[in-house]
Amino acid sequence: MSDPNEPNKYTDSRRAEVTQEWLDWDEDRREEVRDQAYRESASTGYDPSTFFPDETQAIPAEGAWILVLEEPSTPLKEKFRVPPLSMWRARRHFVDGSTFTSSAGDRYEAQQAVISTPAGDLHFWPYEYRIATAPMELASMDGVELHSLGGEPVVDEEELFYIQSRGIRRQDALLMLFDKIASLDFVYVTFPEEVTSALEGVGRSLRRHIALSPRNQQHEEGLTP
């Protein structure tokens, strides 16, 4: 059904350029569709964030850095284990055949985040990751390690030492060298064990915590009365 408030899509009859007004309208419409689909899918009795990410979890077209909360159970585990709370550059993936149709007839597609690992591509559902809002600051923290999928050094340690010798602190020096990395899609970041241990479970929804640690399991282990 057409929207009577929809502005002109193209600047002229050649249809070569889309108007900014239409792009703004389309983004607002998509946001309304997401909100409506989220509410209606929640009313069916399951957590919609399992398949349909909200605006804070949706991977943009240009990709995003994510923190891994939960490693997916796939055959790739036999070849490569994703470190807890490691940070990766992810691209978005719409799952074929997994859509939700709202009462208004709008379709909302299930979305995953995909990372490249030494063992191949790995797909994450929204509850298995969180988007890192300040990835470069995290990557330049003390004690972090930068890895490349091929095993070669990510940054030039000699250049890093030289920059620091000029009075620039390590965090700022790493931020400067990040701009020289050819492809961030093939770089991932790990954090010290004391950091990952302290943050274990952070970012998971209450429903996911319950699913991973059901009360009867805790009772059997003597963790609950």
Q: Classify residue 180: in a domain, yes or no.
A: yes
Q: Are residues 113 and 164 in the same domain?
A: no
Q: Which domain holds residue 86?
A: 20-133
With b for 16 or more beta-carbon neighbours within 10 A and e for fewer, the 32-43 pattern comes to ebbebbbebbee
Q: Are residues 48 and 144 in the same domain?
A: no
Last residue of some domain: 133, 152, 171? 133
pTM of this structure: 0.62
| pLDDT tens profile 12-42 | 888 888 899 988 888 887 777 767 766 776 6
Q: How many CA atoms lie within 13 A of 156 on its CB side?
A: 10
Cα distances from 134 to residues 10, 146, 205, in angstroms, run: 36, 16, 21
Of 24-33, 152-161, 173-182, 203-212, give the range with the top mean pLDDT: 24-33
Contacts of 208 (CB under 8 A, 6+ apart): 47, 70, 127
Q: Are residues 79 and 154 in the same domain?
A: no
Of 6-20, 101-115, 189-203, give the range with the top mean pLDDT: 6-20
Last residue of some domain: 133, 153, 179? 133
Mean pLDDT calculated for residue range 129-157 = 78
Mean pLDDT calculated for residue range 142-166 = 76
More confident of the two residues 128 and 205: 128
Last residue of some domain: 85, 100, 133? 133
Q: Are residues 117 and 30 in the same domain?
A: yes
Q: Are residues 51 and 96 in the same domain?
A: yes
State the average pLDDT for the chain.
76
Q: How many CA atoms lie within 13 A of 116 on its CB side?
A: 12
pLDDT at residue 25, rounded to an integer: 87
Q: Classify residue 167: in a domain, yes or no.
A: yes
Q: Classify residue 4: in a domain, yes or no.
A: no
Q: Classify residue 10: in a domain, yes or no.
A: no
Q: Are residues 58 and 159 in the same domain?
A: no
Q: Are residues 64 and 157 in the same domain?
A: no
Cα distances from 19 to residues 4, 15, 68, in angstroms, run: 17, 10, 38
Among 153, 150, 154, 132, CA closest to 86: 132
Looking at the structure of the chain, the number of domains it has is 2
Left, alpha or beta for 139 (phi > 0: left; psi -120 to 50: alpha)? alpha
Q: Are residues 66 and 168 in the same domain?
A: no
Q: Classify residue 222: in a domain, yes or no.
A: no
Among 208, 184, 188, CA closest to 70: 208
Q: Are residues 33 and 99 in the same domain?
A: yes
More confident of the two residues 190 and 139: 190
Least confident of 47-56, 114-123, 134-143: 47-56
Q: Are residues 127 and 158 in the same domain?
A: no
Of 118-127, 149-158, 203-212, give the range with the top mean pLDDT: 118-127
pLDDT tier at 210, thresholds 50, 70, 90: very low
Cβ atoms 40, 103 nearer than 8 A: yes
pLDDT tier at 222, thresholds 50, 70, 90: very low
Mean pLDDT calculated for residue range 148-167 = 76
The dihedral built from the CA positions of residue 135, 141, 147 and 153, taken in this order, carries a sign that is positive
pLDDT at 82 over 80: yes
More confident of the two residues 50 and 107: 50
Q: Which position has the token pair 């807890």?
A: 84
DSSP string, 127-190: GGEEE-SSHHHHHTSTT-EEEETTSS-SS-HHHHHHHHHTT--HHHHHHHHHTT-S-GGGEEEE
pLDDT at residue 211, rounded to an integer: 47
